[in-house]
Amino acid sequence: MLEAPLFPSPSPWTDPARRKALALKASLAELVSGFRLYLLLEGKSPGTADLYAKMVEEFGLFLEAQGRTLLAPFRGDAVAFAHDLAQRGRSPSYIAHLASALRRFGEFLSWCGLEPPQLEMPPRKSLERRLAPASEEVFALLLREIPHYPNRGAPLLGAVYVLLGGLGLRLDDALRLTVEDVDLPRLRLPGGWVRVFPPYLPYLEAYLDARRLWNRLPGFRPLLVLPSGMPPARKTSALYSNYHKRYLAWLGLTDVPFRSLTLLGGRRMVEAYGLREAQRLLKRYVVV
C-alpha cells in the first residue's frame, strides 16, 4: 500500500502563470474549487470557505439555467438571484453573506488575472418581503370566471394567466412571445417547445380567436400578447397589471401578484417535467 507523499503536489491554482488559463477553461465545479482554495489561502476559515463556495456555485447554476456563466453574468443577475433566494425563504442575513461571497469571488477572478464582472446587489431591506405561490383555488377561480368577465380584455387576461400560472413564465417572458412561438397544442418557452396542458388550451384558443380580429389594425406587430388588441408603443407591465387589478376587483379578491402566479406555474412545471428540465425550459434556476 502506497503512503501519501509527505509534500503533496501544490494545486495548479497556486501557479500565477497558469491561473488565467485555468479559470477561462474551468468547469463550474473546477472554478468553485479554485475559489475555495483562494479563500483558504487568504486566511478564511474552512467553514466560511465552504459557505462562500456553496453560494457561488448556486449562483453559477442560476446563471447556467439562463445560458450564462460566472465569468460573464449580466449586471443585474445578482439582484435577480438575491430576490429568488428571498422568495425561497432565505433570510436577509443569508443574502448579505451572498453579497460578501460574490465580492470575494470578484477578488478571486482578479487574483487569476481576469477582470471581475460588475454586479449590483439590492439593499438588504428590499429582500425581506416573502411571497408564496398563488393557491390552486385562486388560480382556478381566475380562469373559471374569465368567460363571464364583461370586458373585451378578458381573453387577453385568460392567456396571461395560463402563461404564468399554467406554464411558469414570468410576465416579461410572456410579453416577449411572438405568434411564431405558438403552434397549439405546442408553445415555445425560453428553453424549448412544450405541449400546453390540456385544461389550459381553451383559454389560449379563445385568445387567438379574438386576436385574429386585430390583424388588420394599423401598426400591427407579431407580439403574441397585445393589450386590448392594440400594439403597444413599448413593452410595459403596468398596463397588464391594471387589467389584472380591475378583474380582481370584479371578483372581489385582494391582490394576487403576477409573481405569485409564476411561482405556482413553476411548481406545476417541476411536477410535470422534473426540476432540471423545468429549469431548462424556463431558462432560470429558481422556478418554485
Predicted pLDDT of residue 229: 47
pLDDT tens track for 98-113: 888 999 999 999 999 9
Q: List b or e across 25-46, with b for residues whose CB sees 16 or more CB atoms inside 10 angstroms.
A: ebebeebbbbbbbbbeeeebee
Among 48, 77, 102, 118, which Cα is nearest to 286's? 77
Phi and psi at residue 14, in whole multiples of 5°?
-80, -5
Q: Give me the architecture of the 136-282 domain, per CATH.
A: Orthogonal Bundle (1.10)
Say which CATH class 12-127 falls into: mainly alpha
Q: How far is Cα 121 from Cα 126, in angstroms, rounded to an integer?
A: 10
Q: Where are the alpha helices (H) located in the chain, listed in sequence order? A: 16-25, 28-41, 46-64, 77-87, 92-111, 136-144, 154-161, 171-176, 201-211, 238-251, 258-273, 275-282
pLDDT tens track for 137-167: 999 999 999 999 998 888 889 999 999 999 9
Which residues, at least 6 apart from 233, have a Cβ–Cβ distance to it below 8 Å?
none
Average of per-residue pLDDT across 184-211: 93
Q: How far is Cα 113 from Cα 17, in angstroms, rounded to an integer?
A: 9
Predicted pLDDT of residue 108: 95
Q: How many CB atoms lie within 10 A of CB 91?
A: 12
For the ranges 10-24, 143-157, 192-206, 249-263, the maximum mean pLDDT occurs at 192-206
Where along the chain do its domains lie? 12-127, 136-282
Predicted pLDDT of residue 235: 47
For the ranges 6-10, 102-106, 229-233, the maximum mean pLDDT occurs at 102-106
Q: What percent of the chain clears pLDDT 90, i.e. is strictly above it? A: 45
132: pLDDT strictly greater than 80: no
